[in-house]
Structure 1
Amino acid sequence: MFIKKGRQQTLNKEIKLKGIALHTGEEAEITIKSAASDRGIVLFRADLESKELIKARPESVVNLKRNTSIGSRENKKANISTIEHLMAALWGAGIDNAEIAVSGPEIPVIDGSAYPYYRKIKEVGIKKQEQKRSYYVVEKTLSVRDNSASISISPYTGFKISYTLDYDHPVVGKSFFEFDVSKDDFAAEIAQARTFGFAEEIEKLHQQGLALGGSLDNAVLIDKEGTVNPLRFENEFVRHKILDVIGDMALNGRIMGHIKAVKSGHKLHVELAKKIRENMIEEEN
């Protein structure tokens, strides 16, 4: 079921952010521009001649290896990776419509959280648009599972995420955190939580062409004894997992439901997002 509530929003004026890309290790820049009502979030590769617009939707996802990447199945050169933190920031800032030019194959990671994007959007301000904002209300439970990892969404009058993190690692261990958009502050509670990685995995990731831009400036590094750099929250790891869920669920715009996740990652998030999208398309038609 779809309901209309409030008005759609875009940015007051365009913003630019640049920095290192987490996986390629290359310099990257994005320009976020305002967009018309009902446009949604669209991205394109500014370094390519085609300038093919890619909608931030579940069906646009082309890779889920340690990040969420979208692209064109006809033109693989147009792929854009590591969109999840930016998508979470746009959602948290209340942006429904935006056009994003990306200088290369990956979004800059900045500090490893969603906060730099969020802060920049808030600095330039937000513009209300004439069209009503649409929310998709989940009316039946949907779920996906992969062994001990799972994620589901159930009917709820709002948007809530309950996440259980459980790593077989002495520093991370098991933790639980909950975010409810009607009660909690995205900027204070979730947006600043950074991505994290394990020192013992770095060499293997590099061999796979991943995390080449990772550093203590943009990720929490975990070794056998503790974290190499200080945490922003005692439970920053599980808060960041919720950030990832928000970013991946934002592929469907605004939804209402209660998400329960256990040890889930981008692959399961997007599988659930695709199930939600299937229901949305059925109801739209």
Structure 2
Amino acid sequence: MGIGLLGFQTTVANSVTLSGTGVHSGAEVSITFHPAEADSGIVFQRMSDGQVISEFKAVSSQVGNTDLCTVLGFSASTSIATIEHVMAALYALGIDNLLVEVHGAEMPIMDGSSAPFIDAIEQTGIRALAVKRRYIRVLKPVRIESGASWSEFVPYNGMRFEVEIDFDTPLIGRQSWKGDMTPSAFKNELCRARTFGFMRDVERMWAAGRGLGSSLENSVVIADDHTVINVEGLRYAKDEFVRHKTLDAVGDLALAGAPFIGCYRSYRGGHKMNAYALKALMSDPTAYEIVESTAPRQRVVMREAMAANAL
């Protein structure tokens, strides 16, 4: 049935901290996931010297730059960058409420995937809250286009992603990933897919003050001869690239503020297209509805879960 089968809101059981390097700043950063009350949503706080200097709810209206990553906020001095891998992990595991305390200007890149965040959440545990989860059900197609790229939401009885990429290199070419999104599907098929880039773009990014923390420890790097530089190769045969793009889409669409019931499709998309598509959906009140339960089976499972928790 997809993410959030039990139908109740959740948070983490205990606080957990992760530290690493910011992929764009190259600075050491740390984040802490704290439990949060029902209906508080996912909230990011940027800290400095023990003080909160900015706070953002993780919703599409707070998204600023989407050029190379997804950024909350509109000022470099207060914004919080590269949130997509964290948000993908939270969305996939059905975490509705969380305070993310950030000591730095961006998330730590870790190994370039969502796997470290999944591991941290599962180690600390997930706690159910006594408030029903709300869902965003897609009622009609909503599509945006930009040149050869397009993205769209269409009605579907579940949460599904159909992502296709097309790169002008024989190493990648045209790849697609399609599937219903569940915690197990994300963990088994997507969460370990790493961010990737081309060696030819490295100097340009460094000159622009970006990618300063990028390395073979956290990125798949493609050489000019269309080969992977990383000694260990790819984690998912030849299609780690589209799997990571799907991971990014999961994280970007988590900024809807609630799980969606529908299918998201994209061709040659990215952070910007994901953000535009989500804003197009949310700006049309006839394109979606808010619901608390999707099917009688969910209500049965919810009753069973509550009874089990009472034992």
Q: 5+ unaligned residues in a row in structure 1: which ranges?
A: none
Question: Among residues 254, 274, 277, which one is paired with 2:279 in the alignment?
Answer: 274
**Normalization by structure 1: what TM-score?**
0.93
Match of 1:264 in 2: 269
**3-state DSSP of counterpart to 1:247:** helix
Deviation at 1:279, TM superposition (A): 3.7
Verify the 8 A CA contact 1:11 1:126 in the aligned structure 2: yes
User: How far apart, CA to CA, are the structure 2 residues paired with 1:210 and 1:180?
Assistant: 34
Verify the 8 A CA contact 1:8 1:131 in the aligned structure 2: yes
Question: Among residues 231, 235, 241, which one is paired with 1:232 in the alignment?
Answer: 235
Verify the 8 A CA contact 2:136 2:289 in the aligned structure 1: no
Deviation at 1:6, TM superposition (A): 1.2
Deviation at 1:125, TM superposition (A): 0.6
Identity of aligned residues (%): 35
Deviation at 1:170, TM superposition (A): 2.0
Question: Among residues 241, 244, 247, which one is paired with 2:245 in the alignment?
Answer: 241
Verify the 8 A CA contact 1:158 1:182 in the aligned structure 2: no
* CA distances 1:101-127 after superposition (whole Å, capped 9, x unpaired): 111111000000011001110011100
Deviation at 1:46, TM superposition (A): 1.2
**3-state DSSP of counterpart to 1:130:** strand
Match of 2:298 in 1: none
- Write the letter of the residue equivalent to 1:185: A
User: How far apart, CA to CA, are the structure 2 residues paired with 1:16 and 1:144?
Assistant: 38
Question: In the TM superposition, what are the counterparts of 1:73-222 in structure 2 within 5 Å?
Answer: 73=74, 76-181=76-181, 185-222=185-222
- Write the letter of the residue equivalent to 1:278: S
Question: Does residue 72 of structure 2 align to residue 67 of structure 1?
Answer: no
Deviation at 1:179, TM superposition (A): 2.4
Match of 1:57 in 2: 59
Greater Rg over alpha carbons, structure: 2
User: How far apart, CA to CA, are the structure 2 residues paired with 1:55 and 1:116?
Assistant: 22
Verify the 8 A CA contact 1:167 1:174 in the aligned structure 2: yes
User: How far apart, CA to CA, are the structure 1 residues paired with 2:55 and 2:206?
Assistant: 30
4+ aligned runs moved over 6 Å, structure 1: none
Q: 5+ unaligned residues in a row in structure 2: which ranges?
A: 291-311
Verify the 8 A CA contact 2:139 2:289 in the aligned structure 1: no
**Normalization by structure 2: what TM-score?**
0.86
User: How far apart, CA to CA, are the structure 1 residues paired with 2:289 and 2:135?
Assistant: 13
RMSD (Å) for aligned C-alpha atoms? 1.8
Verify the 8 A CA contact 1:5 1:134 in the aligned structure 2: no
Distance 1:225 1:182, change over 3 A: closer
User: How far apart, CA to CA, are the structure 2 residues paired with 1:147 and 1:210?
Assistant: 26
